[in-house]
Amino acid sequence: MKQAKHPSRSFWLTLIAFTFIVNLVALGWTLSRAAEAGIVLPRSVWGVMLMLYFGILLISIWLFVRILRVGDLPFENLRLDSFFWRAFSGILFLAILFLIPYVKFTNEIGQSVKRPVYDPGMMLILYYWACWWAILAAMAALKVALKTTWQAGFAAALVLLGVTYEILLRWNAVTTYPLSMGWSEGSRYYYASLYFSRWIYGESLPLSTLHPTRYLLQSIPFLFPGPGLAAHRFWQFLLWVVLTAAAAWVLSKRVILPQEKAFRWLLAGWYFLFLLRVGVYYHLQVMVIIPLLFVSGKHPWRSLAAVVVASAWAGISRVNWFPVPAMLAIVIHLFETPLPNASGSMSLRQLSSYLSKPMGWLIAGVGAALLAQAAYIPLSGNANNLEAFASSFSSELLWYRLWPNESYSLGVVLGILIVSGPLLAILIAAFCQWKSLHALRWLGILSILLILFAGSLVVSTKIGGGGDLHNMDAYAVLIGTVAVYLVSGRIQVEEGSAPLKIRSHPIFVTALVMPMLFLIPLLSPYPTFNESRNEAAYRQLVQIVNETGKNGPVLFINERQLVALGDVNIPLVPDYEVVTLMEMAMSGNQPYLDKFYNDLSNQRFAAIIATRQNRIIKEDGPLFEENNVWNSRIAPYILCSYHSDLTVEADANRIEIYRPDLDASDCP
């Protein structure tokens, strides 16, 4: 009876439990930090925080017991409907939205601070603790401003905060910094330019063997005259945000009724955050959008065409995505189409009719992906380098990266289980109502998830991967789609079965909080640069390259966007760009490497533009295997025939100009 009278009771119990956990963690973390830093808490200002943590723990226990006994809280039915209070609450939410990053930036939370006034570790604990209270305040503000329930206010607060911070985080990459930000950023714009190579370089050049569809989408700015580096960065920002938002919206629109507009927007916002926190790249979203838009039990030929088109896109995207469009279509079919006569005995004809679509999609989808890849190889101009398309299968697998390591502190397994944990809990809660769906449907859904989970784990162990969760993308898309279907209430159950209902506040609250746990630590101010220094470094590099180019070809291993964007006036040397060179080194493509070694020994290039090369072999550290591959298969051969003649330094780059060494020695 109490549950019926107070339907929000479990929500408040969950929030109080979370508050208890937040304060318990803050308490334990504070005691640990005090012991580490030699802080005597009773004599320190941090002792006040310790008392506050204890006090809130006691209040949380009291509130928890009160709700269990009475059923509600005194402020649960709070109503402040006047224009003043609603406007004030809206302003309060905006203030919280601003203050969470502002406090972090101005106090340099989580950064190395010279001569800090307060202990940085204690400040970090206090900041994260305060963020939880800021989220609760944001919930109250939106509850009043939007005249909604506490649950809706909480969901809206987490989604709006998360989406805003995610977009700001992506916007930080849109700068006017004149050189590559990161070792491979400039590579993306170069590979995008190859789709218009005849126009840009005056000759047809081979396209990329890696991620062709990503570079196809990134090539669009080259259709317009004179886009600079900042414009390309802005376009990539739009690709991340718009395509991910489109995938999230299409899924939410498909499963949520039109009259539930608020729920539809909130679910889309949450799915947007989930995809970006895992790291599902924008070119892969195309394979999510097409099946969700066009697969339908009422339109078999349209559905088949959607699977074929999306799978063809997969064929020139990523090998582990070859079956994903078909699998996504199968999940849609399993959720939206009940078995005929499931409660009775089905005939073999009925069963084969039900399974014919999924099997046909899978065969047609994988076939389309293979055909698309086979067609792309000669069309891309790489028919003489077939090994490059199989590099994923010949690269070393580093199984230890599944577990916590120096390259990724959580490890892939723990990381993906944390991020997708609430969704797995939704799946388990639904499976407890397994009679609502035929066992065959459950078998199909669980098999797809298990296959993609295992396959994604294997891909994550490939050398060059495992430093984050982005190789778990195929699994993430499917578990996210399954979870959204399960909470939507739109699954077509078997005739006579009870509808599937997932109403668990602990799971929902955890799912909403999870993106913020990863986002807030990543928040950073918009980058600032020494513009005069960087401009001088850029101009120095351009001048050196233009002068050297008069004496012979200049190889850009790094910073090749300078050629693609026309910043330097020299012919392009299309070979040996850093991303492809690294991939060939990791996969042991000996014919490619032998050609590289031969060009170096013959001193084909008048100069090589690269980062600083060395022969240091490491035994540990982040990504030390990748370092060792480069420093054993690439760097020694450069240093054998070339020497560093000049260094150009900017804020985020140290670029070496290597010239032929007339006294070449010490060769491998």
**CA distances to 222, 369, 376, 539, 593 from 313, in Å:** 21, 7, 11, 40, 30
Whether the pLDDT of residue 361 is over 80: the answer is: yes
Pairing of β 642-649 and β 654-660: antiparallel
Comparing 325-334, 351-360, 535-544, the range with the smallest average pLDDT is 351-360
Q: Which residues contact 76 (CB under 8 A, 6 or more apart)?
A: 8, 12, 150
Number of C-beta neighbours around residue 130 at 10 A: 14
Task: Give the confidence band of 434 by pLDDT, cuts at 50, 70, 90.
Answer: confident
139 within 8 A of 157, measured Cβ to Cβ: yes
Report which of 608, 618, 648 is spatially closest to residue 637, judged by C-alpha positions.
608
pLDDT of residue 185: 95
Pairing of β 654-660 and β 554-556: unpaired
What DSSP line would sit under 122-176, residue for residue?
Answer: HHHHHHHHHHHHHHHHHHHHHHHHTT--HHHHHHHHHHHHHHHHHHHHHHTT---
Three state DSSP letters for 385-439? CHHHHHHHHHCCECHHHHCCCCCCCCCHHHHHHHHHHHHHHHHHHHHCCHHHCCH
Mean pLDDT, residues 85-109 taken together:
96
Task: Give the confidence band of 343 by pLDDT, cuts at 50, 70, 90.
Answer: low
Q: Which residues contact 559 (CB under 8 A, 6 or more apart)?
A: 179, 180, 186, 541, 609, 653, 655
Q: Over the stretch 528-545, which tens digit does the pLDDT of each residue have? A: 999 999 999 999 999 999
pLDDT of residue 335: 96
Tell me which H or E stretch contains 554. strand 554-556
Most confidently predicted of 63-67, 79-83, 493-497:
63-67
Share of the chain above pLDDT 70, in %: 97
pLDDT greater at residue 363 or residue 497 = 363
Three state DSSP letters for 259-319? CCHHHHHHHHHHHHHHHHHHCCCHHHHHHHHHHHHHCCCCCHHHHHHHHHHHHHHHHCCCH
Whether the pLDDT of residue 264 is over 80: the answer is: yes
Q: What is the mean pLDDT of the chain?
A: 93
Distance CA 315, CA 310 (A): 9
Three state DSSP letters for 2-36? HHHHCCCHHHHHHHHHHHHHHHHHHHHHHHHHHHH
AA identity, residue 101: P
517 within 8 A of 367, measured Cβ to Cβ: no
Q: Over the stretch 564-602, which tens digit does the pLDDT of each residue have? A: 999 999 999 999 999 999 999 999 999 999 999 999 999
pLDDT of residue 666: 65
pLDDT of residue 82: 86
Q: What is the DSSP letter of 72?
A: S
Distance CA 380, CA 474 (A): 25
Strand partners for 649: 654
Three state DSSP letters for 592-658? HHHHHHHHHHCCCCCEEEEECCCCCCCCCCCCHHHHHHHHHHCHHHHHHHEEEEEEEECCCCEEEEE
3-state secondary structure of 199: helix
pLDDT of residue 2: 39
Distance CA 46, CA 30 (A): 8
**CA distances to 147, 464, 589 from 586, in Å:** 57, 8, 8
Distance CA 91, CA 70 (A): 34
Distance CA 191, CA 185 (A): 11
Task: Give the confidence band of 342 by pLDDT, cuts at 50, 70, 90.
Answer: low
What DSSP line would sit under 78-118, residue for residue?
Answer: ----SHHHHHHHHHHHHHHHHHHHHHHHHTTTTS--SS-SS
Whether the pLDDT of residue 458 is over 80: the answer is: yes
Place of tokens 């074929």: 308
Distance CA 586, CA 584 (A): 6
pLDDT of residue 344: 59
Mean pLDDT, residues 250-259 taken together:
94
101 within 8 A of 169, measured Cβ to Cβ: no
657 within 8 A of 607, measured Cβ to Cβ: yes
3-state secondary structure of 56: helix
pLDDT of residue 485: 96
3-state secondary structure of 574: coil
Report which of 457, 514, 455 is spatially closest to residue 480, judged by C-alpha positions.
514
Find the distance separating the first CA and the last CA of the chain, reported in whole Å: 80
Q: Sheet containing 607-611: which strands, arranged edge to edge?
A: 554-556, 607-611, 654-660, 642-649
Pairing of β 554-556 and β 607-611: parallel
Q: Over the stretch 382-424, which tens digit does the pLDDT of each residue have? A: 988 888 888 888 899 999 999 999 999 999 999 999 999 999 9
Q: What angle do CA 222, 226, 229 make, to 5 degrees?
A: 80
Mean pLDDT, residues 461-484 taken together:
96
Give 189's Cβ-side CA count (13 Å radius).
Answer: 29
Strand partners for 642: 660
Structure token digits, residue 234: 């802005």
pLDDT of residue 4: 41
Distance CA 626, CA 314 (A): 27
Mean pLDDT, residues 259-280 taken together:
96
Distance CA 345, CA 487 (A): 30
Structure token digits, residue 86: 């609603």
Q: Which residues contact 428 (CB under 8 A, 6 or more apart)?
A: none
Q: Over the stretch 280-321, which tens digit does the pLDDT of each residue have? A: 999 999 999 999 999 998 999 999 999 999 999 999 999 999
pLDDT of residue 1: 32
pLDDT of residue 665: 67
Q: Which residues contact 20 (CB under 8 A, 6 or more apart)?
A: 57, 60, 61, 64
